[in-house]
Amino acid sequence: MSLSKRLGEYVRACFTGLWIQSHEHDDALAELAELCRQEDWRLAVWDIDRGLQVTGAPAEPAGGQDPLSAIRALNALATSDGTAILVLTNFHRFLNSAEIVQALVRQITTGKQNRTFVVVLAPVVQIPTELERLFVVLEHDLPDQAQLEQIARGIATETGELPEGTQLQPVIEAAAGLTRYEAEGAFSLSLVRHGQIQPDTIWELKSQTLKKSGLLSLHRGGERFDALGGLEALKSFCLRALRRDGHERPQAKPRGVLLLGVPGTGKSAFAKALGAETGRPTLLLDVGSLMGSLVGQTEQQTRQALRIADAMSPAILFCDEIEKALSGAASSGQTDSGVTARMFGSLLTWLSDHTSDVFFVGTCNDISKLPPEFSRAERFDAVFFLDLPSAQQRWAIWKLYIDHFALDVPLVEAAQNVVPVARTAHESVDRLRKWASGRCLSAEQPGIFRAEPAAEPKVGRKVSRNPSQN
């Protein structure tokens, strides 16, 4: 549903305090202006730079930059049988003033008698306690694929500048998650560079956009499954889930997998290669970067990061070593005033309820440090245990090294210079195997649960640049 349609419903229902969260103020104001023209409502817009501007009237004289005067001027726009709307742009900057907060309380309360409406337009939602129950929050959604295609066709007006047919879809998917302004810039830059709109330039701009937010990063590496020895069942499971026809069962979209295993068995390498194999962007979520110093900032940044991931679907959302970030959720009330617990709750809710085509891949080295509710059914499609490589897998990995690096070091000689993880950390490895027994899918045998700890490890590990580690 468009912003103007939702806003029209709330105005007709006489919600006199409306907060619109938007990073695209010009587009939001354009929708509001069009709605007011259609409904014959009076519209006034205030910002600190231009002051109060009333549609169809001359600009306010000197002094119109005063935010308190702008609020008080709204009643003068009211008519006996009409509707007046005042839009306060970036007004969250002025809500530390007790006078302004009190003026808003009075205006929103009395607005029901004379049908005057206060609309705050801001990129964030920062509502003081006195105003929380008086405002309704609306989100100005990012452009969908149809809108992005419309923007692209408005930029690429010459023949051959915009791909058609099946080649157009990668372009539109690459632009998913960008604002209208950012999409226009990405399309224009691609035309300047290549004379045609191409996905690579759009991905470059999108990567910079994610870096600015500091919440997610975009991985565009060249990892492929053929560089990973073993993990055959895990590869097959995820490829079947992500490549099946989306129209076959749209209500049963794949949700993700949790990878439990010994460090060095290829969990992270698999997650990064999965995006390249399925043609999806891989978004890296560092839970530590979500932690903020201000009250409520961590929870807000968590929600914002998940909204960005939803907007960039179809995508892979990868969170590495998740137990290190969430291990303190149980004692969060005593250690950090419940911040970690609330962030954990937001992530759990998203894992269970999100409807976007985002496939979550989480890795974990020690399942005992995670709260039990994290790995329960319906949050993931499956939990896979990645054990140490078997003899067959070790030979497959060694062959990859020989073919890729042209090595001439005998394996027996290399093995004399390394102590394997199975020996240095055998207690933790055995503990993981016992937990996974009967609870996790084997990453090598599809559809079979491990009833007993395997005498021979079933799973391969990633290829690293140090052959002695294998």
CATH topology agreement for domains 3-139 and 225-469: yes
Sign of CA dihedral 330, 336, 341, 347: negative
Per-residue pLDDT, 415: 72
Pairing outcome for strands 256-261 and 84-89: unpaired
User: What's the rounded Cα separation, in Å, for the pair 223 and 271?
Assistant: 10
pLDDT of residue 464: 36
Alpha helical stretches, state H, 131-179:
145-155, 168-175
pLDDT of the chain along its 470 residues, tens only? 788 999 999 999 999 999 999 989 999 999 999 999 999 999 999 999 888 998 876 555 444 688 999 999 999 888 888 899 999 999 999 999 999 999 999 999 999 999 999 999 999 888 999 999 999 999 888 888 888 999 999 999 888 899 988 889 888 888 888 888 989 999 999 999 999 999 888 888 888 877 777 788 888 777 888 777 778 888 888 888 887 544 445 556 788 888 888 777 888 888 888 988 888 888 888 877 777 666 667 777 888 888 888 877 788 999 888 877 676 555 555 555 667 777 788 888 888 888 888 899 988 887 777 777 777 667 788 888 887 777 777 777 777 777 777 767 776 777 777 777 767 677 777 777 777 776 666 666 544 333 333 333 333 333 333 433 33
Two structure tokens written together for 466: 């140090």
Q: CA–CA separation, 271 vs 266, rounded Å?
A: 9
- Assign domain 3-139 to a CATH class: alpha beta
Which of 55, 50, 51 lies closest to 32 in space, CA to CA? 55
Q: Which of 90, 86, 107, 98 is nearest to 128 (CA)?
A: 98
Contacts of 106 (CB under 8 A, 6+ apart): none
Bond before 446 cis per omega within 30 degrees: no
Topology at the third CATH level for domain 225-469: Rossmann fold (3.40.50)
Structure tokens at 241: 């889930």
d(CA 127, CA 95) in angstroms, rounded, equals 8
The pLDDT, as a whole number, for residue 247 is: 42
Q: Are 117 and 84 in contact (CB under 8 A)?
A: yes
| Confidence at residue 337, expressed as pLDDT on a 0 to 100 scale | 61
DSSP 447: T
Structure confidence at residue 466 (pLDDT)? 40
State the Rg of the chain over Cα. Answer: 27
Residue extents of the structural domains in the chain: 3-139, 145-213, 225-469
Q: What is the pTM of this model?
A: 0.68
